[in-house]
């Protein structure tokens, strides 16, 4: 017999989420996650994927992954510190360091794992972390796990950051102080003010940590937000994922050799979780090689992003303050945002609604993610659907 207390808790809270328009339904994709996807037998223009450069279905990545299954098998077989470190993992980390312009890099099983691993390996209860209020959930969880004092900083507010850094240093309470920020904020698409953050960090001797999950492959001609500002030698931690623009799965931290050495002996997901598969490692390496060889996919991404932004703005949608391909259509009311997303689906466009707790209450939206793989014809069709549904619902 299962727990009645658990059943009551689950039933009451799931019902509550549904009534408030905060319940998220999962739509399984039948086949590859490309510029068009199939859900329940219906073909849709896909504007909800993080597959920025279309590499998740790239033939070159598929080919090397197939070959390495024959040469190395389907699994790493152990954690990295026993004998799960394959030659392919070393090659990936060397390529990541070259890509990011750092001395070394360490790879993990996911971007979320990176933030859980790296923050708690360096920061502890005697330290403080200055964290942007819109930082990703994985940063928040990583900060909590460290047990450091978390000092919330107003979003991209440099005066607030400077004041709180000054107060933290002058208090004398902390051994180390870190400032941590997303490079690109995933819900609004704005870019962190890294030059100002680095300037403040140098003034107060802060450790700098940039989560570049949505910047790698996108900014800096593909090398990321830190490279975009030319600050590779000024940022202590460059963290990113291999599952968005890179198109595969996993995450990494790039930085000085002594930092990477420390993470290899003290970050728990590295020590206690089996390494990513051989196919994932080699496909990620191939993707990074492609980005280092050519900016063609990056340029196509930006061309499509600017095209979609202009089209949505022209017909009257509020796309916020985005400076990157991430293009929100901000609706406000959560139920309206979910209804809008469902109508887009019915008309052949898959653009998922994003509501609290992913974004603040009252800022419900549909987030669009144009990629290098979309054609102008697909984007024109999507814009036409947005106009039709937007007018029908009185949103534009």
* CA distances from residue 49 to 98, 279, 337 in whole angstroms, order as listed: 27, 21, 18
Here the tokens at position 210 are 């940039």
- Here the contacts of 97-101 (C-beta below 8 Å, separation 24 or greater) are 97/254, 98/292, 99/223, 99/288, 99/291, 99/292, 100/223, 100/224, 100/226, 100/227, 100/232, 100/238, 100/240, 100/254, 101/223, 101/226, 101/227, 101/232, 101/233
Place of tokens 């152990």: 78
Here the tokens at position 144 are 């909590």
Q: Is 72 a catalytic residue?
A: no
In contact, 174 and 127? CB cutoff 8 Å: yes
User: Would you tell me how many other CB atoms lie within 10 Å of the CB of residue 42?
Assistant: 12
In contact, 236 and 207? CB cutoff 8 Å: yes
Say whether the peptide bond before residue 61 is cis (omega within 30 degrees of 0): no
Here the tokens at position 158 are 């440099």
Here the tokens at position 216 are 């790698």
Of 100, 149, 244, 374, which residue is the catalytic one?
244
Q: For 40-53, give the DSSP string.
A: TTEEEEE-----TT
Nearest Cα neighbor of 200 from 238, 173, 226, 166 is: 166
Of 89, 95, 214, 286, which residue is the catalytic one?
214
Of 120, 138, 186, 267, which residue is the catalytic one?
186
User: Would you tell me how many other CB atoms lie within 10 Å of the CB of residue 113?
Assistant: 21
Here the tokens at position 300 are 């196509």
Torsion angles phi and psi, residue 238, rounded to 5: -110, 110
User: Would you tell me how many other CB atoms lie within 10 Å of the CB of residue 302?
Assistant: 18
Place of tokens 């090397």: 64
Q: Is 89 a catalytic residue?
A: no
Q: Is 374 a catalytic residue?
A: no
Distance CA 23, CA 16 (A): 9
Q: Check residue 211 and give left, alpha or beta (phi > 0: left; psi -120 to 50: alpha).
A: beta
Residue 185 gets which letter from DSSP? -
The alpha carbon torsion through 286, 290, 291, 296 (nearest 10 deg) reads -150
In contact, 107 and 250? CB cutoff 8 Å: yes
Distance CA 331, CA 341 (A): 10
Q: Which positions are catalytic?
A: 186, 214, 244
């Amino acid at each position: 017999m299962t727990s009645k207390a658990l059943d009551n808790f689950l039933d009451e809270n799931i019902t509550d989420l549904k009534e408030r328009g905060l319940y998220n339904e999962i739509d399984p994709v039948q086949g590859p996650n490309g510029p068009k996807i199939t859900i329940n037998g219906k073909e849709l223009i896909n504007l909800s994927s993080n597959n920025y450069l279309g590499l998740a279905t790239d033939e070159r990545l598929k080919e090397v992954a197939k070959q390495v299954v024959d040469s190395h098998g389907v699994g790493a077989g152990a954690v990295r510190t026993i004998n799960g470190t394959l030659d392919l993992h070393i090659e990936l980390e060397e390529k990541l360091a070259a890509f990011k312009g750092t001395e070394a890099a360490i790879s993990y099983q996911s971007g979320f794992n990176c933030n859980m691993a790296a923050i708690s390996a360096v920061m502890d209860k005697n330290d403080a972390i200055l964290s942007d209020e819109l930082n990703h959930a994985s940063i928040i969880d990583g900060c909590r796990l460290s047990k450091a004092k978390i000092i919330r900083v107003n979003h991209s507010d440099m005066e607030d950051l400077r004041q709180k850094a000054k107060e933290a240093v002058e208090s004398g309470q902390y051994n180390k102080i870190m400032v941590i920020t997303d490079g690109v904020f995933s819900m609004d698409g704005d870019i962190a003010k890294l030059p100002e953050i680095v300037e403040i960090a140098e003034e107060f001797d802060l450790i700098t940590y940039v989560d570049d999950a949505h910047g790698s492959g996108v900014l800096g001609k593909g090398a990321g937000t830190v490279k975009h500002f030319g600050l590779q030698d000024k940022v202590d931690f460059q963290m990113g994922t291999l599952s968005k623009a890179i198109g595969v799965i996993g995450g990494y931290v790039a930085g000085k050799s002594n930092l990477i050495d420390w993470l290899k002996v003290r970050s728990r997901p590295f020590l206690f979780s089996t390494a990513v598969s051989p196919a994932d490692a080699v496909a990620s390496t191939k993707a990074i090689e492609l980005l280092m060889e050519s900016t063609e996919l990056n340029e196509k991404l930006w061309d499509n992003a600017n095209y979609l932004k202009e089209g949505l703005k022209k017909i009257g949608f509020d796309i916020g303050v985005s400076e990157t391909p991430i293009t929100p259509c901000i609706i406000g009311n959560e139920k309206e945002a979910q209804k809008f997303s469902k109508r887009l689906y019915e008309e052949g466009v898959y653009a998922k609604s994003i509501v609290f707790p992913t974004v603040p209450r009252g800022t419900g939206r549909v987030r669009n993610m144009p990629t290098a793989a979309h054609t102008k014809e697909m984007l024109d069709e999507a814009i036409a659907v947005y106009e039709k549904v937007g007018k029908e619902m009185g949103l534009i």
